């Protein structure tokens, strides 16, 4: 069962002669959806009835945010969580471009598909965990975990850039 899961993820071949598929484009799409859609506060704000689609970036900042709390539309805890989610969403959108560039460089350099798939899997897991920790973060310890996860995502991208650069320069005389 575990080996078939790994095979389906492109992390192992179904047999020793089969080349591994390159799931780079799939990871790009999946991480785009994670970064731009799934981490958005839109659904939560709609659920609380506080979404202002005319100026949605203003929903969670003062003085509008304090008005939502003072009028009893949301609690201070709900506001703070949505503010953390919005911050995680912004960071996810910013970081997606780094990941996309690293994956594209890896594909241009024709890095081993298994390597690219493994790094992209780790990146996706790390970024999902980053979002979850940021969303739930109410302590200094959780903030430290969030920082470690942020750096882990960066290290994945840096390594992909490094390996792509080495592969591209291997052909230079």
**What is the CATH classification number for the domain harbouring 165?**
1.20.120.550
pLDDT at 155: 98
Angle formed at CA 31 by CA 27 and CA 33, multiple of 5 degrees: 120
- Residue percentage of the chain with pLDDT more than 70: 88
- 13 domain-assigned: no
What would the pLDDT profile of 60-69 be if each residue is shown by its tens digit? 887 888 888 9
What would the pLDDT profile of 3-39 be if each residue is shown by its tens digit? 666 666 656 666 666 778 999 999 999 999 999 999 9
pLDDT at 115: 93
- 106 domain-assigned: yes
pLDDT at 1 over 90: no
- 9 domain-assigned: no
Structural domain total, the chain:
1
pLDDT at 86: 93
Q: Which long-range contacts (CB under 8 A, 24 or more apart) does 86-89 make?
A: 86/41, 86/60, 87/134, 88/39, 88/130, 88/131, 88/134, 88/135, 89/35, 89/39, 89/40, 89/41
Full residue range of the structural domain in which residue 136 is found: 22-169
- 52 domain-assigned: yes
pLDDT at 12: 61
Q: How confident is the model at residue 165 (pLDDT cuts 50, 70, 90)?
A: very high
DSSP labels for 22-74? --HHHHHHHHHHIIIIIT-SHHHHHHHT---TTSGGGTTSTTHHHHHHHTTSS
């Amino acid at each position: 069962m575990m080996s078939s899961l790994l095979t389906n993820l492109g992390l192992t071949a179904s047999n020793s002669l089969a080349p591994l598929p390159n799931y780079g484009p799939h990871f790009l799409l999946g991480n785009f959806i994670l970064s731009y859609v799934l981490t958005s506060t839109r659904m939560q704000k709609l659920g609380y009835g506080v979404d202002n689609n005319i100026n949605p970036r203003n929903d969670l900042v003062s003085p509008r945010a304090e008005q939502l709390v003072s009028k009893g539309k949301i609690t201070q805890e709900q506001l703070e969580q949505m503010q953390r989610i919005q911050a995680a969403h912004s960071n996810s959108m910013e970081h997606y471009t780094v990941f996309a560039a690293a994956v594209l460089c890896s594909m241009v350099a024709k890095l081993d598909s298994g390597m690219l798939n493994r790094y992209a899997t780790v990146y996706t897991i790390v970024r999902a965990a980053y979002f979850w920790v940021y969303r739930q973060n109410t302590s200094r310890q959780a903030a430290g975990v969030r920082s470690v996860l942020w750096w882990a995502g960066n290290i994945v991208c840096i390594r992909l850039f490094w390996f792509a650069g080495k592969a591209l320069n291997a052909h230079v005389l």
